[in-house]
C-alpha cells in the first residue's frame, strides 16, 4: 500500500498531473505514509525523472514547470504533517541562514532542507532564491547565525558559493559561522575545495551534518 502510494505520487509528477499529486498527498497522509517519505521517495523522484527528460529533450520547460508545480502543491499538504519537536526545544540547536545562490531560482530542495532543519529544532531564516553574495554577507551581519546554508542546482551557479565564502572571510565572519552547501551538482569534494565546512547530499544528511557542525558528538 505504502509503496503503491509512493509510486503513484511519482507517476503523478511524471505525468504532469497537479490534481492527482494533491489528491495522492492527501491519500498518503490518511493511509499513514510518512510525509518525508512521500516527499523524498515519491514526489522528488518524479521531478528528477522529468529533469532527465528535459536534459535529453524529451520534455520542455513548460512540462518542467508543471512537474515543479505538482511537487510544490503536494508538498504544501505534506509539510504541515511532518512532526515537529516540542516548541520549547526550538532554537535550541542554533540559527541557520539558508538560501539558493545568486542566479539560481530552484527552491524546492532548499525549502525541504529548511523544513527538515526546522523540524530538527534549528531556527531557520530562509533568504529565498537568487541570493547575492552581498545579501548573504549583510544578512549574516544582521542575524548573526551559527551557520549559513547555500543551495545550488546548476553547474553555472554553484561557483558563486565560493565567492560567498571568500566574502565571509574578507569580512571577518568566516571564523564565526559554519558553512554547509548542497544541491544536485555539488559534492563533498566541492565543499572541501571551496572551504565549506560541510555538504548535504539530501535533506536528512544536511540535518545530520548541521547538528555535527554545531555540536560535534
Ligand atoms: Co531547472 N534545471 N532550470 N527548473 N530543474 C535543473 C537543475 C537541470 C539539471 C535540468 C536538466 O537539464 N537536467 C538544469 C541545470 C543544468 C546545469 O547544471 N547547468 C536546469 C536548467 C537548465 C534550468 C533552466 C536554465 C531552464 C531554462 O530556463 N532553460 C531554468 C533555470 C532558471 C534559473 O535558475 N535561473 C530552470 C528552471 C526550472 C523550473 C522553474 C522549471 C523548475 C524549478 C522550480 C522551483 O524550484 N521552484 C526546475 C526544476 C524542477 C528542475 C529539476 C527538474 C528538479 C529540481 C528539483 O526540484 N529537484 C532539475 C533536474 C534535477 O535536479 N535532476 C533542474 C527535487 C529536489 C527535492 O531535489 O533540488 O536536488 P534537489 O534537492 C535535494 C538535494 O540536492 C539536497 O537536499 C534536497 C532534498 O533532498 N539539497 C541540499 C538541496 N539544497 C541543499 C542545501 C543543503 C543541503 C542539501 O545545505 C544548505
DSSP secondary structure string for all residues of 34-71:
-HHHIIIIIIHHHHHHHHHHHHTTSS-HHHHHHHHHHH
Per-residue pLDDT at 58 exceeds 60: yes
Instruction: Return the axis-axis angle of helices 108-120 and 203-214, rounded to nearest 10°.
Output: 50
- Ligand 1 neighbourhood includes 46 CB (under 6 angstroms): no
Q: Which residue has the higher pLDDT, 92 or 155?
A: 155
In the chain, pLDDT over 70 holds for what percent of residues?
Answer: 95
Average pLDDT over residues 122-148: 97
pLDDT of residue 1: 78
Per-residue pLDDT at 87 exceeds 70: no
pLDDT digits (tens, 9 = 90+) for 88-120: 455 578 999 999 999 999 999 999 999 889 888
- Ligand 1 neighbourhood includes 110 CB (under 6 angstroms): yes
pLDDT digits (tens, 9 = 90+) for 19-54: 999 999 999 999 999 999 999 899 999 999 999 999
167 HSE (CA, 13 A, CB side): 16
Q: What is the pTM of this model?
A: 0.92
Torsion sign, CA atoms 95, 100, 101, 103: negative
The x, y and z cell numbers of residue 9, run together, are 505520487
Per-residue pLDDT at 198 exceeds 60: yes
Mean confidence (pLDDT) of the chain: 93
Per-residue pLDDT at 147 exceeds 90: yes
Residue for cell digits 553555472? 156
- Ligand 1 neighbourhood includes 80 CB (under 6 angstroms): no
In angstroms, the CA 185 to CA 194 distance is: 14
In a 10 Å sphere around its CB, with 0-12 CB exposed, 13-18 middle and 19+ buried, how is residue 89 labelled? exposed
pLDDT of residue 217: 59
pLDDT of residue 89: 52
The x, y and z cell numbers of residue 213, run together, are 557542525
CB atoms within 10 A of CB 107: 19
Average pLDDT over residues 169-180: 96
Q: How many residues does the chain have?
A: 217
- Ligand 1 neighbourhood includes 184 CB (under 6 angstroms): yes
pLDDT of residue 91: 57
As a whole number of Å, the end-to-end CA separation of the chain is 38
In angstroms, the CA 75 to CA 80 distance is: 9
Query: How many angstroms separate the alpha carbon of residue 43 from the centre of ligand 1?
Result: 14
Least confident of 79-88, 146-155, 174-183: 79-88
> By alpha-carbon position, which residue is closest to atom 40 of ligand 1?
65
pLDDT of residue 86: 44
In angstroms, the CA 28 to CA 50 distance is: 22
Amino acid at each position: 500500500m505504502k509503496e503503491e502510494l509512493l509510486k503513484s505520487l511519482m507517476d503523478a509528477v511524471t505525468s504532469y498531473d497537479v490534481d492527482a499529486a494533491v489528491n495522492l498527498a492527501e491519500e498518503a497522509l490518511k493511509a499513514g505514509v510518512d510525509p518525508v517519505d512521500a516527499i523524498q521517495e515519491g514526489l522528488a523522484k518524479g521531478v528528477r525523472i522529468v529533469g532527465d527528460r528535459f536534459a535529453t529533450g524529451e520534455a520542455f520547460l513548460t512540462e518542467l514547470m508543471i512537474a515543479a508545480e505538482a511537487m510544490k502543491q503536494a508538498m504544501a499538504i505534506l509539510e504541515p504533517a511532518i512532526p515537529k519537536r516540542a516548541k520549547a526545544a526550538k532554537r535550541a540547536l542554533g540559527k541557520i541562514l539558508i538560501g539558493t545562490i545568486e542566479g539560481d531560482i530552484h527552491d524546492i530542495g532548499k525549502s525541504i532542507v529548511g523544513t527538515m532543519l526546522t523540524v530538527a529544532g534549528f531556527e531557520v531564516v530562509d533568504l529565498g532564491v537568487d541570493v547575492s553574495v552581498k545579501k548573504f554577507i549583510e544578512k549574516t551581519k544582521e542575524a548573526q547565525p551559527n551557520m549559513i546554508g547555500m543551495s545550488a542546482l546548476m553547474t553555472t551557479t554553484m561557483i558563486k558559493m565560493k565567492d560567498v565564502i571568500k566574502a565571509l572571510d574578507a569580512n571577518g565572519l568566516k571564523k564565526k559561522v559554519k558553512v554547509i552547501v548542497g544541491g544536485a551538482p555539488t559534492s563533498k569534494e566541492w565543499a572541501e575545495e571551496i572551504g565549506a565546512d560541510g555538504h548535504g547530499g539530501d535533506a536528512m544528511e544536511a540535518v545530520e551534518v548541521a547538528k555535527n557542525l554545531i555540536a560535534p558528538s
